[in-house]
Amino acid sequence: MKRAVVSILFIYALIYLLPLGARPLFIPDETRYAEIPREMIATGDYTVPRLNGLHYFEKPVLGYWLNAISIKAFGENAFAVRLPSALATGISAVFVFFAACLTAGAAEAGLFAACIFLTFFAVFGIGEFAVLDSMFSLFVTGAMAFFLFAYDSDPGSRKRGWMLALCGLFAGLAFLAKGFIAFAIPVVSIVPFLIWEKKAKEIFRIPWIPIATAILVSLPWVVAIGRAAPDFWHFFIVNEHIRRFVESNAQHAKPFWFFLVILPGAAMSWTFVFPAAFSGLKKEGTGKTIVRYLVCWLVFPFIFFSMSKGKLATYILPCFAPLAVLFAIGLETALKDGRNRLFSRGALALSIFVLILAAGLAAVQMAGPQHIRPYTTAAKWLFIEAGLISWAFLSFLSANTAPWRKKAALFCAAPLCFMFAAHFAIPDTVLFKKAPEILFERHTGVIGPDTLLVSETSLAPAISWFYKKSDVFLFQSRGELSYGLSYPDAAHRYIKDVSRLKALIAQRRNNGGVVLVLKKKKYAELAPDLPVPVFSDTRGNFVMAGF
């Protein structure tokens, strides 16, 4: 068992931690969650979030604090910005481990569940990305896990009190990471569970300790932000909760069934052995209290997120912890009973599917038109091909192995080479669209203290992060910075039309100059109406022009 734990920790470090700095930060999300904590460090204001020097009220503050701590510890680089997300994913796997141990009564099941969780593609993809979802999911997972541990302990015992207090602690941290949704997930999970358990009266008894603890954790910043920026709560509650949940024109609006469509891909590779897991769960039944709890933890938040008008694939990340435990229970039950056929068929189907992907990529890369080839160099696509072939080969071995532990271990290990390769083999087509840093590096010397930078909203955080400036002007787009620009002292930083841009260029020609950074299509539309630039450079989807 110790060897298995050490192996998993080593693989986690190899897949999740060591390659974090292998690629540049992507726009708009990663650069946003890098720049806000950088500005906190630069200004010393850790209460009011600012992006590009403008008030930014879309999220509370804890995720920015954690990123700021990492930046102060490891420097202003991609590794530091992504590290909190990767660590949050690893700690979430620990909670998954203990939840599975409690459910199955054995550490073996816990290790299996943790491996399943860490190899879900959604968990891996989001955990390697500098967004707040992994941290939020960690805190929600902690709250749900500690409630489970409390419910499993004796009523009235000191242990139950401590477990409920820890549940509230993590709920409060989740609130500080993403807002009131932190309380919605436990409520929509635990209330149906207690009703299913025929303990509806406990709904009015159990919550008081978690509620009190959550308030104590979150209250200091709640009061501080209310004093420093009194309009924060109105904007945050109305725009980021009510409108996003109920309005048909909400940001990221998607149909009700959106998450059902993306779930099979998000749960890869385990989607292919779902029939085997379901057969094991069916035999296990819902007689166990903990299994009922896991079902409620998975199903009701999933429905809740589906009801929201605004949806992103990252929103259902908190559902993958209970899903991993349920998969581990179902698969272990099925495999121990010798019912390997469903699992073997799934592993074989996965092997064939991945081989088709590998063949398709090779065909496009070698014979496809130049403009649709994902890679410009052979090394990258050969690296990712090797990962795909390894994935297919180990899945095939899993399908044809009899001992159930070896079968499960091979299936867990199958995608690891591909996951490792993914860090270093990001398609060039993606880098051209998402990584303007490559262009910025060429022109570090021409950006002086007095240079005025002008860009569109999606690029502004990347420019601020790379050049350590928080005064980028915005041209013809406000987007997520609209509210910050509405402040009287910030309104002048919005350039509405070309005539004002030309006037600004003329005004600053001998006073530091103007550097315009836009996407290629936008710049092509503007170029005929602008003066001849001193320099103009294009990289991928981005253009940088100096005047």
End-to-end CA distance of the chain: give it in Å, rounded: 65
- Write down the mean pLDDT value for the chain: 92
> Do 480 and 457 meet the contact criterion of CB atoms below 8 Å apart?
yes
Residue 251 has pLDDT above 70, yes or no: no
- Name the most confidently modeled range: 33-42, 156-165, 340-349: 33-42
Q: How confident is the model at residue 98 (pLDDT cuts 50, 70, 90)?
A: very high
Query: Residue ranges of the domains in the chain?
Result: 2-336, 341-425, 437-546
Which DSSP helix (H) or strand (E) runs through 321? Answer: helix 320-336
Task: Give the pLDDT of residue 247.
Answer: 60
Q: How confident is the model at residue 254 (pLDDT cuts 50, 70, 90)?
A: confident
Q: How confident is the model at residue 103 (pLDDT cuts 50, 70, 90)?
A: confident
> Do 354 and 392 meet the contact criterion of CB atoms below 8 Å apart?
yes
CA–CA separation, 64 and 68 (whole Å) = 6
More confident residue, 251 or 399: 399
Using DSSP, state whether 197 is helix, strand or coil: coil
pTM listed for this prediction: 0.94
Q: How confident is the model at residue 246 (pLDDT cuts 50, 70, 90)?
A: low
User: Which residues face 514 on adjacent strands?
Assistant: 452
Three-state secondary structure of 50-89: EECCEECCCCCCHHHHHHHHHHHHHCCCHHHHHHHHHHHH
Upper half-sphere CA count for residue 439 (Cβ side, 13 Å): 26
Q: Which residue has the tokens 């909760």?
A: 241
Spatial strand order of the sheet with 494-495 comes to 494-495, 473-475, 452-455, 514-519, 542-546, 535-539
Q: How confident is the model at residue 479 (pLDDT cuts 50, 70, 90)?
A: confident
Q: Pull the structure tokens for residue 191.
A: 């209330």
Average the pLDDT over 110-133 and give the result: 96
DSSP 469-531: -S--EEES--GGGHHHHTSTTTGGGEE-SHHHHHHHHHHTTTTT-EEEEEEHHHHHHHGGGSP
Torsion region of 493: left, alpha or beta (phi above 0 gives left; psi -120 to 50 gives alpha): alpha
What are the φ/ψ torsions at residue 287 (nearest 5 degrees)? Answer: -70, -30
Which residues have a Cβ under 8 Å from the Cβ of 408 and sit 6 or more positions away? 112, 331, 332, 335, 398
Task: Give the pLDDT of residue 494.
Answer: 95
In the chain, the percentage of residues whose pLDDT exceeds 90 is 78
